[in-house]
Amino acid sequence: MHNIRICFLNTDFESDIYELIRAFYPESAFTVIYQEKDAEDQIIPDLDFCFRKTDTSYRIEQRAGTIRTEEVPAAEGLLKTSREALLSCSTEEQIRLHNLRKEQKDRIKTALYDMLCQLSGRTLPWGCLTGIRPVKLVTDMLEQGMSNAEAAVEMRSRYMVSREKTALAVAIANREKDILKGMDLQNGYSLYAGIPFCPSICLYCSFSSFPLKVWASRTDEYLDALIHEAQETASMMKETGRKLHTIYIGGGTPTTLSPEQLKRLLHVLTELFYEDGIREFTVEAGRPDSITKNKLLAIRDFPVSRISVNPQTMNQKTLDLIGRQHTVEQVEKAFYQARQAGFDNINMDLIVGLPGEDKEMVRNTLERINVLHPDSLTVHSLAVKRAARLNIFRDEYAEMTYENSQEILDMTTQAARQMGMFPYYLYRQKNMKGNFENVGYASDGKAGIYNILIMEEKEPIIALGAGGASKFVLRKGNRIERAENVKDVKSYIERIDEMIERKRTGIRTWIS
């Protein structure tokens, strides 16, 4: 495995540069080096890439083997504006400089992408895009008055996105617009409540999840803190006069809670927040080994309109390998129990690119899901983040193979269509196998509205619980502000009043 060494003599656009290089060399290890002074004689030898800023340009150097250099002229307004000066600018000037910085970043990434294509002899399906929201780009273009065709040309010419991915992004942008039609996004918000416990921690997981067996004696204490945060937040939100659009209970695995605990949580959230006109109320039931008939009936006592039963794969060998402590038969049993309990909007999550799975194993999963016929299907391309055990114990899992390809993704699209589903939202993650995407498919009227809202950043998401990150969409200055809760459960319980004050500050900033 080749170790790629990148040196930054300037950290402007560092993350985008790093992620784009990594997308071309996903199996390589990376070493990042920082140099304070931009002097040729100080550059460390044996580098693969070096990024610097001169008085007039940004320079990308590929230094291994044949040296290649790309030079991108620097926008004068950015060169002369420090971060401190930017904060003191008027709103209009901040927006201008923000747009200028975006254009500068795009030019740098285009130059780097061309260099990497020449070095590797290949292209990427999403071109030089490194962000997680490609559909948001298309949506912004359409809102600025572009036609579908003009937005498609922009995606291909400016970002080098393939024709297939461009068509997918444009189609989803239009479908999202239709789904959100009639919602007052300027004066609305959505609510997220996180239950950070799981029956076991999956091999690929990097979320804020904690094994239930370790925390079983403190789940009531956690609920006490979460309910306290919910009560204070409800009071704050009533003062804003904003309308709640969706509620989403996620995790972790919410159904690690007992039926009584689920009733307690749902009763509080319904009493505090639920009102006529809410578009969606989701409980991510998730792990089939945590789902029981009594828990499903407990959820049915409340106005929950959508749940998830998430197998990830229907191949038992893979389930055992990745740490999912349930069987394929338990997936099917949980799904049928949910139908019998009266749920008519059930989502199922799948992951393609799991270790050891080839296209025939994916085909088996899709055939078994087709028999169940859920109302929506979310297909994830495996993304292994730094915190996941697949990376922490890299040597232990070095012999595993990962297969993900456009052919496999086309299989999932075809299977969704056979079930009467069409793509309605899309997002990307860092370190995705094959540099592909996650796509949500849904039957008519069954799309997950919360999923669209959180991806498109059209309205604030108020998040409760350990690891919850509230996001406030500020029209003034065209930016997003965050108020984050600590991830550690013990710290969340002990510092709950601090979490509430963080949220209070974020809400005040949002409505001011």
HSE (CB half, 13 Å, CA atoms) of 394? Answer: 10
pLDDT-based confidence at 393, cuts 50/70/90? very low
The pLDDT, as a whole number, for residue 123 is 95
The pLDDT, as a whole number, for residue 402 is 46
Domain 185-502: which topology? pyruvate-formate lyase- activating enzyme (3.80.30)
- The answer for residues whose C-beta is within 8 angstroms of residue 40's C-beta and 6 or more apart is none
Least confident residue range of 148-157, 200-209, 414-423, 501-510: 200-209
Q: What angle do CA 377, 378, 380 make, to 5 degrees?
A: 145
Instruction: Report the distance separating Cα 246 and Cα 189, nearest Å.
Output: 8
| Stronger pLDDT, 10 or 223, i.e. the higher one | 223
Query: What is the tens place of the pLDDT at every residue in 79-128?
Result: 666 555 666 677 777 778 778 888 999 999 999 999 999 999 999 999 99
The answer to whether 411 and 361 are in contact (CB under 8 A) is no
| Stronger pLDDT, 356 or 243, i.e. the higher one | 243
* 388 pLDDT more than 50: no
Query: What is the tens place of the pLDDT at every residue in 28-53?
Result: 889 999 987 655 556 677 889 999 98
Residues facing residue 5 across a β-bridge: 31
pLDDT mean across residues, the chain:
88
Segment 171-200 shows an average pLDDT of 93
> Token pair for residue 459?
């309205």
Query: What is the tens place of the pLDDT at every residue in 308-336?
Result: 999 999 999 999 888 778 899 999 999 99
DSSP 278-304: --EEEEEEE-GGG--HHHHHHHHTTT-
Q: Distance of CA 408 to CAs 353, 358, 411, 436, Å? A: 9, 9, 5, 11
**Topology match between the domains 3-122 and 185-502:** no
Q: Which CATH number is correct for 3-122, 3.30.70, 3.40.50, 1.10.357, 1.10.10?
A: 3.40.50
Burial of 225 by CB count in 10 Å (0-12 exposed, 13-18 middle, 19+ buried)? buried
- Please give the single-letter amino acid code of residue 450: Y
The pLDDT, as a whole number, for residue 353 is 86
The pLDDT, as a whole number, for residue 96 is 80
* 145 pLDDT more than 90: yes
Burial 409-426 (b: 16+ CB within 10 A, else e): bebbbebbeebebbbbbb
| Stronger pLDDT, 205 or 79, i.e. the higher one | 79
Least confident residue range of 5-14, 142-151, 153-162, 414-423: 5-14
The pLDDT, as a whole number, for residue 92 is 76
Instruction: Report the distance separating Cα 398 and Cα 91, nearest Å.
Output: 50
pLDDT-based confidence at 400, cuts 50/70/90? very low
**Cβ atoms within 10 Å of 226's Cβ, excluding its own:** 25
The answer to whether 466 and 486 are in contact (CB under 8 A) is yes
The pLDDT, as a whole number, for residue 40 is 54
The pLDDT, as a whole number, for residue 39 is 55
Domain ranges of the chain: 3-122, 134-179, 185-502
Least confident residue range of 3-12, 152-161, 228-237, 288-297: 3-12
Choose among 447, 398, 284, 416: nearest CA to 352: 416
Q: What angle do CA 26, 311, 343 make, to 5 degrees?
A: 135
Query: What is the tens place of the pLDDT at every residue in 353-375?
Result: 888 888 999 999 999 999 999 99
Least confident residue range of 373-382, 439-448, 476-485: 476-485
